[in-house]
């Protein structure tokens, strides 16, 4: 192919229109075709045109158990017992699916890691950052950072996260920054410290401490600010606070604590907000079997309102994601332990955004991307199609053989907050 023409024999405008229609999973291949195509797909102008033509759509990055081994004969009994996880991309509008390449030099995706999409040149959110989590072999907290470039289709190792190796921290991206706050250290002490990762410079910088310790807080991006929602201090151990704190990158400071963002005791696991550069934003979460929303710019005064009922076959929701324009994605199943599926909430033509003309559409998933829950004979190993829960094999900790056993506590809103309790196994297992 000539480096002087986008597509030989076609006018420049027509060739560019063809290139604009390349799918998200084919961009790396297009970029490597020629120097001219590489320059084209890397230019901010190309991505502005994709947005203008409606070709740039939001993607979901999901952590999913590796498909069970297709084993036959004696090996069949071991099929489905893999503890390896991968990242997959889903286009909830067009319905496309694609698996990302595995992380380099790792034994699989870290358990309980956090994902954040950051902006690159031109303001495009073109990089995916994987932060922290647990080593899938040792279950030790890791400070590892991995960065995926959607255009090159490759991973690179990022600068390690500084400070104590933390678990279950709040995390969200604002522009090119990935913010991390709270969680707990290796001694199970809740943290109020925070750091930020500059994905362009591949460097971490410290932030001022939050006003409160926040273990298991939820991180969201609201109106250009990083918000840590909920969480609890060391002495509370699972009794979630209803407050939140917002960090303003422009002022490089935390704002005052926002009270009554959630009801006291509510797990913030399903809180989400569509990233937006404007001051206005809406936060969503699961409440009383409904998708609920509130004005995220109102510091504690706004009430949650029901937006839509959950789909009948997806009421056991494990994750929510807002993708803009009033569209929300839910990952759930008909019952706890059932097959997981992705649902997209959209407003029908002629309807409003108050739930009167909204409907859920279930995304069709090829077999290799279907989320099926299963339990082994000890009822201790499970695999849920979700970005939050990870498979729980038997592990050796502190010189004893112990088993991480999933349990859950139902809050008064009907949310499910998963806990991991240790139960000593009989010596013969």
* H or E element at residue 130: strand 125-131
200 and 176 Cβ atoms separated by less than 8 Å: yes
- Return the pLDDT at 67: 67
**pTM, entire model:** 0.79
223 and 280 Cβ atoms separated by less than 8 Å: yes
More confident residue, 239 or 403: 239
The mean predicted confidence, pLDDT, of the chain is: 78
More confident residue, 315 or 116: 116
| Alpha-carbon span 262 to 240, nearest angstrom | 9
Confidence of residue 130 (pLDDT cuts 50, 70, 90): very high
| Alpha-carbon span 162 to 369, nearest angstrom | 34
Residue 268, phi-psi category: left (phi > 0), alpha (psi -120 to 50), beta (remainder): alpha
| Tens digit of each residue's pLDDT (9 = 90 or more) over 75-86 | 444 444 456 888
**DSSP codes, 217-279:** -EEEEETTEEEEE--B-TTTSS---S-EEEEETTTTEE---BTTSS-TT---TT-EE---SSS
The torsion of the CA quartet 312, 315, 318, 321, rounded to 10 degrees, works out to 60
Task: Name residues whose C-beta falls within 8 Å of residue 398's C-beta, 6 or more positions apart in sequence.
Answer: none
Q: How far is CA 21 from CA 30, 53, 83, in A?
A: 11, 9, 37
| Alpha-carbon span 120 to 97, nearest angstrom | 23
**Mean pLDDT score, 125-140:** 90
| Lowest-pLDDT range of 13-17, 55-59, 319-323 | 55-59
Residues of the chain with CATH 2.120.10.80: 57-67+84-349+356-390
Q: Is 405 helix (H, G, I), strand (E, B) or coil?
A: strand
Residue spans of alpha helices (H) in 142-262: none
| Lowest-pLDDT range of 1-5, 31-35, 70-74, 310-314 | 70-74
Confidence of residue 177 (pLDDT cuts 50, 70, 90): very high
The domain defined by 57-67+84-349+356-390 carries CATH number 2.120.10.80:
yes
* H or E element at residue 286: strand 282-287
Sign, CA torsion 337/341/347/351: negative
**Mean pLDDT score, 139-161:** 94
* H or E element at residue 31: helix 27-31
More confident residue, 156 or 119: 156
Q: Is 301 helix (H, G, I), strand (E, B) or coil?
A: coil
More confident residue, 167 or 40: 167
Confidence of residue 414 (pLDDT cuts 50, 70, 90): very low
Residue 316 has pLDDT above 60, yes or no: yes
Confidence of residue 166 (pLDDT cuts 50, 70, 90): very high
Q: Is 273 helix (H, G, I), strand (E, B) or coil?
A: strand
More confident residue, 349 or 115: 115
**Mean pLDDT score, 152-165:** 94
| Tens digit of each residue's pLDDT (9 = 90 or more) over 239-298 | 999 999 999 999 999 999 999 999 999 999 999 997 665 446 889 999 988 999 998 776
| Tens digit of each residue's pLDDT (9 = 90 or more) over 325-355 | 778 999 888 777 677 888 999 765 544 555 4
- Return the pLDDT at 354: 52
- Return the pLDDT at 301: 63
35: phi then psi, degrees, rounded to nearest 5: -65, -35
Confidence of residue 71 (pLDDT cuts 50, 70, 90): very low
| Tens digit of each residue's pLDDT (9 = 90 or more) over 352-383 | 555 456 788 888 888 778 754 322 222 222 22
More confident residue, 182 or 412: 182
Sign, CA torsion 130/30/174/281: negative
170 and 183 Cβ atoms separated by less than 8 Å: yes
| Alpha-carbon span 128 to 109, nearest angstrom | 13
């Amino acid at each position: 192919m000539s480096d002087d023409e986008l597509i030989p024999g076609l006018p420049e405008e027509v060739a560019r229109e063809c290139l604009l229609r390349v799918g998200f999973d084919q961009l790396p291949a297009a970029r490597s075709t020629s120097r001219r195509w590489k320059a084209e797909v890397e230019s901010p102008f190309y991505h502005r045109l994709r947005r203008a033509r409606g070709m740039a759509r939001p993607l979901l990055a999901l952590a999913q158990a590796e498909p069970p081994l297709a084993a036959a004969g004696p090996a069949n009994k071991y099929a489905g017992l893999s503890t390896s996880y991968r990242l997959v991309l889903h286009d909830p509008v067009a319905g496309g699916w694609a698996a990302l390449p595995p992380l380099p030099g790792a034994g699989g995706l870290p358990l309980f890691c956090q994902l954040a999409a950051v902006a690159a040149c031109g303001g495009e959110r073109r990089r995916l950052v994987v932060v922290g989590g647990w080593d899938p072999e040792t279950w030790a907290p890791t400070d590892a950072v991995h960065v995926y470039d959607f255009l090159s289709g490759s991973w690179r190792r990022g600068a390690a996260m500084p400070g104590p190796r933390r678990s279950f921290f709040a995390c969200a991206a604002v522009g090119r920054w990935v913010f991390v706050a709270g969680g707990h250290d290796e001694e199970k002490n809740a943290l109020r410290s925070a750091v930020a990762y500059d994905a362009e410079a591949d460097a971490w910088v410290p932030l001022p401490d939050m006003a409160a310790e926040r273990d298991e807080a939820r991180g969201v991006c609201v109106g250009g600010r990083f918000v840590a929602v909920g969480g609890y201090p060391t002495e509370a151990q699972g009794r979630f606070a209803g407050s939140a704190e917002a960090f303003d990158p422009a002022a490089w400071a935390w704002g005052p604590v926002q009270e009554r963002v959630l009801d006291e005791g509510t797990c913030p696991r399903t809180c989400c907000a569509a990233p937006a550069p404007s001051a206005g934003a809406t936060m969503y979460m699961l409440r009383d079997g409904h998708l609920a929303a509130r004005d995220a710019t109102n510091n504690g005064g706004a009430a949650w309102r029901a937006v839509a009922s959950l789909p009948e076959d997806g009421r056991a929701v494990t994750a929510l994601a807002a993708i803009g324009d009033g569209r929300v994605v839910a990952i759930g199943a008909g019952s706890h332990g059932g097959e997981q599926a992705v649902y997209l909430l959209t407003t029908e033509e002629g309807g409003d955004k108050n739930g009167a003309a909204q409907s859920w559409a279930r995304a069709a998933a090829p077999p290799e991307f279907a989320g099926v829950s299963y339990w082994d004979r000890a009822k201790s190993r499970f695999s849920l199609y979700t970005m939050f829960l990870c498979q729980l094999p038997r592990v050796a900790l502190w010189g004893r053989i112990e088993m991480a056993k999933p349990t859950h506590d139902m809050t008064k809103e009907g949310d499910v907050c998963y806990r991991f309790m240790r139960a000593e196994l009989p010596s013969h297992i």
